[in-house]
Structure 1
Amino acid sequence: MAVQDGRARAAEDLKSLFVEVRQHLMQSYEVPDLIGPKSRLIFLLESPHVQELKYRAPVAGASGATMSKHLFGEAYAKFPVGLLVKKNLLEQKNRPSLDCIGLMNVSNIPLQPAAYRDRSVHEQYGDWLSALARIREDNQRDDYRDPLLNAVQAAMVEYLRDKLLALAERPCVVVPCGRFAQKFFRLAGVMGPRWQVIHGVPHPSYNAWDRAQYQSVIAEVQRALEQLRAATAGVAAAVNLRATASPDSQSAPSPSPGS
């Protein structure tokens, strides 16, 4: 029993240390979630990388562009959904098809060491960055042999759980994208009474949403967006977004929707 208690205390100490490290890294490397008051279609993704750090928005690069293509049509294939949602929120454009979308990362700091361009960060936090990378890469496991990995993962799960609990009373369609997000959503163990979860959606990286084996589940996401857009707009029937040139108007967005 004493040995178990000692291990438990050591695990808690490691977890507390990681929380401190994360708080420090968030000062320069945090990419906040984009959840508005009308967000009902919540995409749960992994973590920010270089483009997300640049624009301070989730899925602000190629993965976000893939999402836009499938959510809004080919005319939006060059505009990452993270930039569209951010612009809509900041400028209060009140476009229903963007109002209803929320973007949440499991981790609001990068999990890939390459995203941290400051060498001093690697010198100071190299072991922690390696732990984050290993958890990201070895995402088929719930437990690890290394106590550090277990402690970091436990802190990440608690962090995500708190964010999900903040939405628990809201009617939502939650879409965990990819195995990493699906694993952490399961470990967080939060299920709102008015939530629907769309399972089996891949992460949009490497054009995964274009692959034939995922078309049925992507179509389910598209239907959910159409229904929620209609509800947000206060109309009786959903508008087929993919048949129009833009989510809510006939004009295409500016090339820099996040600016």
Structure 2
Amino acid sequence: MEYLTQFKIDDLSHDKSEFIFILESPHKQEVAMGFPAASESGWWMSKAMFNIETPLGELVTNKSSSIPRISILNCSRLPLQISCYNPLRLSEDFSEFLEIQEIKNGNIQVVKQKIKEKLRTKVGGQALKSFRFRLLKSIQNNNNHSKIIVCGVIAQCFFEEATQLNGYIRVATNLQWEGCSFKIFYEYHPSPKSGQWQNPYNMRNLLDFMSCKRA
């Protein structure tokens, strides 16, 4: 899939990070800027956690002293929104994989099952292999002191398929994987569409997990 290289965004992965944020994928703004969490979702992350009105990816890229040391990993280094590729013609198997973003159901377990089925396809398996490698490397670079925040259902499915472990929404959980110990925390997607990060009441558990106080 070399023809998609222009859309691929690298992680912001730093040694000895206090927190690793796992997001789903880049979108148009991330592709344009060249780093994760550059769009409105990144803005809301900074606002909710640190009361700073700058996208989180920009703060991490510039190594801002106003925030803790953070790494940001996208599960998929390529956008999962088909609109990002217009008017490029995509291969059939990749187009079918991008349907992962369209999976809807009132039962979250049904949604997760269907997402994981997509991750078990050829294209999904390639994305999962890449994520697993990058996640393990990031955890190892943090010397077993990682606090990992997994944002959104797709990201949670990537994590669960890669590690064969589970976290719980807004509950801190101690886990071990590949000889590494870390804490995991599931959070909702920071997109304004979810409406979760815009309400300070909703973010209390995450702030407690991070033990950070807003200005």
Q: What TM-score, normalized by structure 1, do the two folds share?
A: 0.66
Cα distance, 1:54 vs structure 2: 1.0
Q: Is the 8 A contact 2:36 2:57 kept in 1?
A: yes
Structure 1 gap ranges (5+): 1-20, 227-239, 244-259
Cα distance, 1:160 vs structure 2: 0.8
Equivalent position of 2:150 in the other structure: 176
Map Cα deviations across residues 211-246 of structure 1 (whole Å, 9 max, x no partner). 4773343323441xx3xxxxxxxxxxxxx4x12xxx
RMSD: 2.3
Structure 2 gap ranges (5+): 104-110, 165-176
Of Structure 1 and Structure 2, which has the larger fraction of its residues in helix?
Answer: 1
Counterpart secondary structure, 1:32: coil
One-letter code aligned to 1:188: A
Q: What TM-score, normalized by structure 2, do the two folds share?
A: 0.78
Equivalent position of 1:105 in the other structure: 74
Map Cα deviations across residues 139-188 of structure 1 (whole Å, 9 max, x no partner). 522226xxx97222222211111111212422211111010101110100
Percent identical: 29
| Counterpart check, 1:215 vs 2:194 | no
Q: Is the 8 A contact 2:30 2:36 kept in 1?
A: yes
Instruction: List aligned pairs for 1:23-172, cutoff 5 A.
Output: 23-26=2-5, 28-73=6-51, 76-77=52-53, 79-88=54-63, 95=65, 97-98=67-68, 100-117=69-86, 119=87, 121-122=88-89, 125-138=90-103, 140=112, 141=114, 142-143=116-117, 150-169=121-140, 170=142, 171-172=145-146
Q: Is the 8 A contact 2:94 2:123 kept in 1?
A: no
**Greater C-alpha Rg:** 1
1: CA distance, partners of 2:25 / 2:126: 15
Equivalent position of 1:204 in the other structure: 190
For residues 135 and 149 of structure 1, do their structure 2 counterparts lie closer, same or farther at Cα, with a shift above 3 Å needed? farther
Map Cα deviations across residues 67-112 of structure 1 (whole Å, 9 max, x no partner). 0011211xx23x1111111122xxxx6x2724x1111000111111
2: CA distance, partners of 1:64 / 1:221: 19
Counterpart secondary structure, 1:59: coil
Q: Is the 8 A contact 1:42 1:104 kept in 2?
A: yes
For residues 221 and 128 of structure 1, do their structure 2 counterparts lie closer, same or farther at Cα, with a shift above 3 Å needed? farther
Cα distance, 1:210 vs structure 2: 2.5
One-letter code aligned to 2:131: L
